[in-house]
Amino acid sequence: MKLRLLRLSDRGIFDRYLSRVRRPLAAYAFAHIVVWRRLFTIRWALVHDTLCCFFENGAGCFMYLPPLGDADEEVLKECFRFMEEKNHNRDISRIENVAPQDLARFGREPFRHYKKCDEYIVRRKDMIALAGNRYRHQRNLCNYFEKHYQARMRAYRPGDRRAVLDLYDRWAAAKKQKGSDAIYRAMLDDSRQALVVMLGALSRLKVKAVVVECGGRPEAFSSGFLLSGGKFCINFEFADLSFKGIAACTFREFSRRCVSCEDINIMDAVGLDNIRRTKEMYHPAQTVPNYTVLLKDEAHRL
């Protein structure tokens, strides 16, 4: 297996293979793969006309996605053999972000799988209209924000980088104070690393990003990109929550700008009930299960 270090210039080949599978999960976009390269060494290889993407750090090696293309059992076994050679802990050898329609590939020996968090899909038109009683809370928040603050949404500019990172740090610090979940705190730190990478390559990654200014200063940020399946995915959204209603208003106004799609993936709840409740308040039109695939215990080694 001839591995190549992932570079921004590889977007074209990833886009070609991602277009073959067209999945609604957030991971199925080059922008959501390459942003993790500060935390992982990311390599890829073409194996029998499938694209295989591996993430590696001090803990071991795993696949961020199933092989992209028409992967037969031999391709899958070759990928697991490669991971098994690198990993001391056999459960690290796994394939993440497996969509429901791909589980059939792994429905027989020697594979097993488990379900992770669902991802939430909302209708863009509903997020813009916020009509009816079920969106009354979000509508009231938007009305409050517009009444009490002079704000404007505009496209992110490179000169906003420092202000946006400072905003993220303030937002993350407030989140950490409210919760003691160590995993969530670590995820906030990891996400900042991904944000730094993304801000340095927005146009090359085809990421749409906006800020909301209050008093001439960015107080909210949102970004997203098109997925291979045609849905839009919002991957970052954070704000100074001392501005009541700013999060709801930012989401609504950013949804207005996603004119090329009908559905928006607002990602998962990372296993936290408070985030799950917030996402469910937007009454998702669809939830998409996300699976991890491993080898059965008796299958080691292939």
Residue 157 φ/ψ region, left for φ over 0, alpha for ψ in the -120 to 50 degree band, beta for the rest: beta
State how far the Cα of 259 lies from the Cα of 255, in Å rounded to an integer.
Answer: 8
pLDDT in tens, 155-192: 999 999 999 999 999 999 999 888 768 888 999 999 99
Judge if 4-117+290-299 and 119-288 fold alike in CATH terms: yes
Q: Is 275 exposed, middle or buried (0-12, 13-18, 19+ CB in 10 A)?
A: middle
The model's confidence at residue 301, banded by pLDDT at 50, 70 and 90, is: low
Residues 6+ apart with CB under 8 A from 122: 263, 264, 266, 282, 283, 284, 285
Architecture of domain 4-117+290-299: 3-Layer(aba) Sandwich (3.40)
Which CATH code, of 1.10.3130.10, 3.90.1570.10, 3.40.605.10, 3.40.630.30, is assigned to 119-288?
3.40.630.30
Whether the per-residue pLDDT at 51 is higher than 80: the answer is yes
User: Is-contact 284 57, C-beta < 8 A?
Assistant: no
Where do the domains of the chain lie? 4-117+290-299, 119-288
> Containing H/E element for 33?
helix 31-34
Residues 6+ apart with CB under 8 A from 86: 56, 60, 61
pLDDT in tens, 216-259: 999 999 999 999 888 999 999 999 999 999 999 999 999 999 98
State how far the Cα of 249 lies from the Cα of 121, in Å rounded to an integer.
Answer: 18
